[in-house]
Structure 1
Amino acid sequence: MTDYEETFHPNGTDGDDVEEVPSKAGWFDDSDEDEKRKKKDKDKGWCFLTTAACEHIGLPDDCYELQTLRDFRDNFLCATVDGAEIVEEYYRIAPPLVPLVKQEHTAAWVWKHIQQAVAQIENGQNSAALDTYQNMVRILQREGRNTGT
């Protein structure tokens, strides 16, 4: 038996008879930090169109509108299978639309729809807010196809 085998397999076993059970958090002790990082990244990201509109008008990444829509995504949409599918679809179609949102005339139009969706969320009209945002995205898609964006 080599020093390697004795070091990693005490009692001279080949490791096949050792049962490995992950902790609740996973295989590594630092997974809590990894989960915190992932949550922070998730909280800050994926609101492609709203982020582009906010940047265009000079609002920070943690502005009220972004926080409201992220909370809506995480706590309303992602709470259901259908909502999670809507979010996944958005992740697929929204990134190519960002350059369109950064155009002056489009940014103002998008911002009005964002404000409308946020107001609907504030009033507990979650389905209406989803409709507002989805309609905005559909129109942007059509515009993007028409302009080659």
Structure 2
Amino acid sequence: MQSAIRLQCKSCGGNLTIDPQREVLICPFCGSEELITDSDAVAVEKIRQKTTFMQWEREDAKRKEKERSAYRNSKAGIVALVFVFICGGGCIGSFTSARNIYNVLYGTVLLIQTASFLLSFLERKEVIHLQKLLPFDGNKLPSLLMAVGFLLFIPALLLSTL
């Protein structure tokens, strides 16, 4: 987005707001018309604005990288990884000792939980990029995957009692 460049009218000295896309400007104070050329003042102002914008972009990129780093290294990733091992171990145990359909269903729920926690961990560590495929903005997907994993504890507990 380009902002306006401020210069003074040659006739009355009033401040002009010059739109860089226009070639002629009428002074709002004295009514004189001036041809807009890339004078030294215009060139200097354009360079100043470009430099300011580039500094802002660099600062924004640094801020975003700092946020990504904090996000990647958050404790939620560790929690997800711990539950991957817990649910994965339970899944293996339930499938190896499956005596009836309830044990198989229990193992399946634990398998889905394991996948949910694992995908949450891998997305948080930026190993996979599911957010590009889904309509979620920001860092919501890993949190949603963890919520699904925790909600699946309800059917897992019900199935484990059968």
- Normalised-by-shorter TM-score class: 0.3 to 0.5
TM-score normalised by the chain length of structure 2: 0.31
More strand by share: 2
Larger radius of gyration, structure 1 or 2?
2
More helix by share: 1
The higher relative CO (CA closer than 8 Å, separation ≥ 6) is in 1
TM-score normalised by the chain length of structure 1: 0.33
